[in-house]
A and B are shown apart, each in its own frame.
Chain A
Amino acid sequence: MEALTSWLATWASRVADMTATDWISMVAMWAIGGILIFLAIKKDMEPTLLLPMGFGAIIVNLPGVAQKVVDAATGKVTYSFGPLSELFGAGIANELFPLILFIGIGAMIDFGPLLTNPKLMIFGAAAQFGIFFTFAMSSMFFDFKDALSIGVIGAADGPTSIVVANELGSTYVGAIMVAAYSYMALVPIIQPPVIKLLTTKKERLIRMPYEPKSVSKTTKILFPIIITAVVGIVAPDSVYLVGFLMFGNLIRECGVLNSLSETAQKVLANLITIFLGITIATKMYYADFLKTETLLILGLGLVAFIIDTAGGVLFAKLLNLFMKKKVNPMIGAAGISAFPMSGRVVHKLGLEADNQNFLLMHSMAVNVSGQIASVIAGGIILSFGLGAL
């Protein structure tokens, strides 16, 4: 009986300050967590991240879980969530989780189709337009560094968004993460209407025969090293972003580290993904998350994805004005990264226009170039924020 009274007293002291609004807000966050879990399980939308995020959002918003921490010097109030906050400090605040995840992603990517036709890389660059445009838009509402962090949602690349937002000390890391991962999951819904709006039926019918060419092993090995060197020279602050990605790819391509490559692709990537999703949820505490700014960030994230898609398609159309051998402008949309969903979306749209129009190899090549370009764009944004460019 005494133990029960003591437990009740402790629990009551933790929730004593909570108002009716706080309770409603917590329930709203449980609903949001539930929606994320529903989307992950029922709609198969980025389940590896949305499910842990949704479950974590429920954990951190249970009454009495959050421990209020007041900074003695500044009076700033933050919330601690026990082991989840420890994990956040150990893996996200210092950017280790997203960077290590990049090793796994790099090991998963086959740059072969891109290396056979390197010109396609230019579409990856064009499709980063949304990042910079959204940054300019965000700057109307947010301060410089927050606006840069919000712009990177358009990288359609979760780890890059986490690294940039953290490095720039953005207040809105949670909302940025949720937007980045949710919209990546929604690529099959967001992209097709934008692509169809910007292309004619005739353009969607353009066929691009795939001419398989062999790529030497030397090229495959030197490619990740060259990219790291070039990006490291241009934007040294982002060398770790691209470096970890390319390190993973080098493990894959070198031919002597097959077991490491397999571990990076499966075990390592899975382990980090488990911790990443649930740890991000520490930024989904209702007091930090349920703000007008969150809704605005979600809206701006959507703008970033739409403008990225439009940028890629319109750039391809522009190139077609000068090219003898026309490209199907839809492949420009695959440059937004969001690997491999975006490449598949474009391929599917090609088949929808003509059931013999196979764009997969081209769209995947553009898609992996978007992965490279988004990391470079993240580095440029980081350099802007740190005043290095």
Chain B
Amino acid sequence: MLNLIKLAFNPMNFVNNLGYLGVGMLIIILVMAVIIGATALLNKITGGK
């Protein structure tokens, strides 16, 4: 019933792809930081208290 095919297992791929983890998190934090800055600025300009 369950198609028990042999799965590929390449542990080195984990290590090789950690770079994407770092880059991805860096981009998302930078983008959110820009949005935080823009929002804070917007609040200041438009007088949000």
Contacts and interface: CB of A to CB of B under 8 A. Distances in A.
Interface in B1-48: 1-5, 7-11, 13-14, 16-18, 20-21, 23-25, 27-29, 31-36, 38-40, 42-43, 46-48
A214 B46 CA distance: 11
A292 B2 contact: yes
B9 to A, nearest CB: 6
A273 interface: no
A137 interface: yes
A254 interface: no
A216 B47 contact: yes
Interface size class of B (residues with CB under 8 A): 35 or more
Nearest to A128: B28
Contacts of A125: 25, 28-29, 31-32
A218 interface: yes
Interface residues of A, number: 55
B46 A292 contact: no
A230 B38 CA distance: 10
Interface of A is mostly: helix
A122 B36 contact: yes
Interface string A139-156: 111100001000000000
A135 B19 CA distance: 11
Contacts of A276: none
A136 B35 CA distance: 27
Interface stretch (A57-65, A75-83, A373-381): A373-381
A89 interface: no
Contacts of B11: 140
Nearest to B12: A140
Nearest to B6: A292
Contacts of A24: 1
Contact of B48 (A216, A293, A384): A216
B2 A291 contact: yes
A25 B1 contact: yes
Interface of A: 21, 24-25, 28, 115-116, 118-119, 121-122, 124-126, 128-129, 131-133, 135-137, 139-142, 147, 213-216, 218-219, 222-223, 226-227, 230-231, 234-235, 290-293, 295-296, 369, 372-373, 376-377, 380-381, 384, 389
Interface of B: 1-5, 7-11, 13-14, 16-18, 20-21, 23-25, 27-29, 31-36, 38-40, 42-43, 46-49
30 contacts: A21-B1, A28-B1, A118-B35, A118-B43, A122-B29, A124-B32, A128-B28, A129-B25, A132-B20, A135-B20, A135-B21, A136-B18, A136-B21, A139-B14, A141-B9, A142-B8, A213-B48, A215-B43, A219-B48, A223-B39, A223-B42, A226-B38, A227-B35, A230-B38, A290-B2, A290-B3, A372-B32, A380-B28, A381-B24, A384-B20
